[in-house]
Amino acid sequence: MFCCYKSYKQRLNIKLGLEEDTEHTLKELKIITGIPIKILKEVKKRGKGAYNTNLGSVRLKEDYSKNDDLRKGKSKRLSAEQWSKARIYSFIYKSIFQCMRYKKQDLDLYDQIKHLYT
């Protein structure tokens, strides 16, 4: 499937010198990043919540584009699990490379871990 940009998972894996499509468990992500599992689980929970309350923000499966048209329902979009995992990778990437100002909804969690990366 062609995509015009790299996902946060791919970007993180490239920065870490891993295969860009390598999947990681929460435990592996904790070991790699030092971010406590408790924080990663909260990001995941918030991702699932966002999926259920703001479906228009969830990317389409076919090309990962954002489409606010709610007529493109859940069957056309990433699953809640995929969306929450994407949010975890985004949180990690933006935390490590200090661009959390673009992820305002998780700033409270970032404040708990920013000492790891400053």
The verdict on residue 70 lying in a domain is no
| Structural domain span for residue 17 | 8-52+78-116
pLDDT at residue number 83: 92
The verdict on residue 104 lying in a domain is yes
Tens digit of pLDDT for each residue in 54-98?
A: 888 888 888 888 888 877 778 888 999 999 999 999 999 988 887
The verdict on residue 64 lying in a domain is no
The verdict on residue 84 lying in a domain is yes
Which residues, 6 or more positions from 94, have their beta carbon under 8 angstroms from its beta carbon?
8, 100, 102, 103, 110
The verdict on residue 72 lying in a domain is no
Measure CA of the first residue to CA of the last residue in the chain; give whole Å: 37
| Tally of domains in the chain | 1
The verdict on residue 2 lying in a domain is no
The verdict on residue 1 lying in a domain is no
pLDDT at residue number 66: 82
Instruction: Categorise residue 19: left if φ over 0, alpha if ψ from -120 to 50, beta otherwise.
Output: beta
Give the C-alpha separation, 78 to 65, whole Å: 11
The pTM of this model reads: 0.86
Cβ atoms of 7 and 89 within 8 Å: the answer is yes
Cβ atoms of 45 and 90 within 8 Å: the answer is no
